[in-house]
């Protein structure tokens, strides 16, 4: 089953015993819960789109391992063209869901571990690459959604993992057995983990020799024993419990995060991809971050496309569409959005082959891409709110619109242009609300800031890769300084 259908994916998640907690209670499954279902639907879209002829050129690819047609989300990049197509696929998925569709993180983890395990084996004589290839083949064959988990809670940021007051604030190995390891710790901010098949865990920072137990990478199924998650709250999340479609803005798609706890989870030897080789922890982090910073040059752009369209419709619906300042604001939104895309494409086109044979993005350009993402979506949302007007946050509820007594007043006084229904006007405004400050703002705004590393993390990488000395020499040459 190298390509699952959306429905097959849903049923495969339903069959798993994933331990999810929310509002202090166990949730039986992400499949049937109204707060979690939109997140599952976003991933489902990645399966559905792969079966549509008009999208298969981006959504599917031939596996380098098996030669079979697979979902691109399970692919190991074989060229810069693959890197470019990844970004294009992400833009497409963002356009179709207006949400985080969650599978990028696994794809980015696949590619980072693929090359890092190869180089680690070469230096240390370990067998992690072989382990990883076996896992990858299974992931491709079963078309798994894999959550790539990097971010530890980190406790006191001024202290290294081993110096924390609580040693579990970075995920660590607590026991080494003949047949595997036992790990304890947590991974925070895991988007879509409640509807994934497997979790691929990586260390979160570069490490010194004293942090051997923290330099660990592995995979386990999400229903592994002693693994559970606590779902994060989102603004407006309980609107999804009200049973209406208008007020949630995007009733079908979304993304949710979970604090994922590994409370002494056993990992068999064959699923271990790093075990104490602290000198490769930094490489793994840097490569994963590079891929994931590239990802944002695709996914956020696709969501931005939807927001630009929503803002334009809001102007159409209230008759402001011909105003020159509105046109100019839409142009600015497109300019910012396409600038994000440009850096996503640029870091892909300038990618290079690693020792293992897969392709890595240009790290300077990937970090520039993500640095832009920490800023431009905020300006795009500001402009969208400007065009939308205050009604996006003051409009009455869908229940009021449907109420026999109140509805006619809502219809009458909140109408924009006569040719568009009040309901449609409110639908667009609620979508803008959803993206700018509702549940989807988690993905489009704050995740743009902190996902794949907070702004300072990119600035450190830009400083490292910026090649200032060469630029000094250029200036000296022009100025004729010996």
Partner 1 sequence: MKLPQRVRIKYCGGCNPRYDRTALAAKLRAAFPGLDMPETDEDGGPYDFVAVLCGCPAACAEHEGLEGRAGKMLIVSADQYEALAAAVRERLG
**Catalytic center residues:** 100, 104, 191, 257, 292, 296, 299, 447
Q: What is the length of the chain?
A: 482
Shortest Cβ distance from residue 305 to partner 1 (Å)? 7
Kindly state the tokens that stand for 327: 């046109």
Q: Which stretch binds partner 1 (CB under 8 A): 91-99, 174-182, 359-367, 381-389?
A: 91-99
Looking up tokens 């229904």, which residue turns up? 421
Shortest Cβ distance from residue 7 to partner 1 (Å)? 19
- Fill in the per-residue mask, 49 to 88: x = in contact with partner 1 (CB under 8 A), - = not in contact: ----xxxxxxx------------------------xx--x
| Closer of 258 and 344 to partner 1 (Cβ) | 344
**From CA 106, how far away is CA 75, in angstroms rounded?**
10
For residue 345, what are the β-bridge partners? none
Looking up tokens 């395990």, which residue turns up? 117
DSSP 356-381: TS-EE--HHHHHHHHHHHTTHHHHHH
Q: How many residues bind partner 1 (CB under 8 A)?
A: 15
CB 248 within 8 A of CB 285: no
Q: CA of 139: how far to CAs of 132, 433, 470, in Å?
A: 10, 37, 44
| Closer of 13 and 50 to partner 1 (Cβ) | 50
Kindly state the tokens that stand for 89: 């696929």
N-to-C CA span, the chain: 66
**Would strands 20-22 and 227-231 be described as parallel, antiparallel, or unpaired?**
parallel
Residue 10's contacts (CB-CB under 8 Å, 6 or more residues apart) are 31, 40, 44
Find how far residue 271's CA is from the centre of its chain. Answer: 23
| Closer of 56 and 411 to partner 1 (Cβ) | 56
| Closer of 148 and 304 to partner 1 (Cβ) | 304
Shortest Cβ distance from residue 85 to partner 1 (Å)? 7
Please calculate the CA angle 281-286-288 and round it to the nearest 5 degrees.
95
With CA atoms as reference, report the closest residue to 195 among 50, 6, 440, 48.
6
Shortest Cβ distance from residue 87 to partner 1 (Å)? 8
| Closer of 161 and 344 to partner 1 (Cβ) | 344
- Fill in the per-residue mask, 197 to 236: x = in contact with partner 1 (CB under 8 A), - = not in contact: ----------------------------------------
Shortest Cβ distance from residue 399 to partner 1 (Å)? 36
| Closer of 53 and 390 to partner 1 (Cβ) | 53
Shortest Cβ distance from residue 84 to partner 1 (Å)? 8
Shortest Cβ distance from residue 298 to partner 1 (Å)? 8
- Fill in the per-residue mask, 249 to 288: x = in contact with partner 1 (CB under 8 A), - = not in contact: ----------------------------------------
| Closer of 35 and 49 to partner 1 (Cβ) | 49
- Backbone dihedral angles phi then psi of residue 105, each to the nearest 5 degrees: -65, -35
Find how far residue 80's CA is from the centre of its chain. Answer: 21
Residue 404's contacts (CB-CB under 8 Å, 6 or more residues apart) are none
Find how far residue 267's CA is from the centre of its chain. Answer: 25
What part of residues 301-320 is at the interface with partner 1 (CB under 8 A)? 305
What residues make contact with partner 1 under the rule CB under 8 A?
A: 53-59, 84-85, 88-89, 91-92, 95, 305
């Amino acid at each position: 089953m190298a390509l699952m259908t959306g429905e097959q994916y849903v049923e495969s998640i339903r069959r798993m015993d994933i331990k999810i907690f929310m509002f202090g209670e166990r949730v039986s499954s992400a499949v049937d819960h109204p707060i979690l279902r939109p997140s599952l639907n976003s991933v489902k879209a990645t399966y559905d789109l792969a079966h549509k002829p008009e999208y298969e050129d981006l959504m599917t690819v031939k596996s380098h391992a098996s030669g079979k047609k697979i979902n691109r989300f399970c692919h190991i990049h074989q060229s810069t063209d693959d890197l470019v197509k990844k970004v294009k696929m992400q833009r497409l998925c963002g356009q179709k869901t207006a949400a985080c569709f969650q599978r990028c993180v696994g794809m980015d983890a696949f590619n980072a571990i693929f090359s890092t395990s190869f180089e680690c084996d070469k230096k240390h004589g370990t067998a992690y690459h072989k382990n990883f290839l076996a896992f990858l083949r299974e992931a491709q064959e079963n078309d798994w959604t894999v959550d790539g988990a990097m971010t530890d809670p980190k406790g006191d940021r001024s202290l290294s993992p081993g110096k924390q007051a609580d040693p579990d604030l970075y995920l660590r190995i607590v026991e080494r057995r003949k047949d595997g390891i036992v790990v304890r710790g947590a991974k925070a901010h895991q988007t879509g983990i409640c509807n994934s098949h497997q979790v691929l865990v990586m260390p979160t920072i570069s490490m010194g020799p004293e942090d051997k137990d923290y330099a660990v990478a592995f995979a386990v199924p999400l229903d592994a024993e002693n693994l559970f998650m606590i779902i994060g709250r989102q603004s407006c999340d309980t609107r999804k419990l009200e049973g209406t479609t208008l007020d949630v803005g995007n009733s079908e798609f979304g993304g949710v995060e979970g604090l994922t706890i590994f409370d002494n989870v056993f990992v068999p030897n064959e699923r271990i991809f790093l075990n104490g080789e602290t000198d490769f922890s930094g490489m793994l982090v840097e490569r994963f971050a590079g891929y994931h910073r590239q990802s944002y040059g695709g996914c956020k752009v696709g969501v931005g496309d939807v927001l630009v369209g929503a803002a334009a419709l809001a102007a159409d619906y209230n008759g402001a569409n011909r105003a020159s300042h509105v046109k100019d604001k839409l142009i600015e939104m497109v300019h910012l959005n396409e600038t994000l895309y440009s850096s996503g494409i640029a870091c892909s086109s300038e990618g290079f082959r690693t020792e293992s044979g897969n392709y890595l993005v240009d790290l300077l350009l990937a970090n520039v891409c993500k640095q832009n993402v920490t800023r431009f979506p905020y300006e795009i949302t500001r402009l969208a709110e400007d065009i939308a007007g205050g009604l996006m946050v003051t409009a009455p509820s869908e229940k009021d619109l449907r109420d026999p007594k109140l509805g006619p007043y809502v219809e009458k006084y909140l109408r924009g242009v006569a040719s568009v229904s009040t309901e449609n006007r409110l639908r667009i405004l609620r979508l803008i609300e959803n993206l700018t400050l509702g549940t989807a703002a988690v993905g489009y705004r704050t995740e743009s800031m902190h996902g794949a590393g907070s702004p300072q993390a990119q600035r450190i990488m830009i400083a490292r890769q910026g090649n200032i000395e060469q630029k000094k020499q250029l200036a000296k040459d022009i100025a004729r300084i010996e």
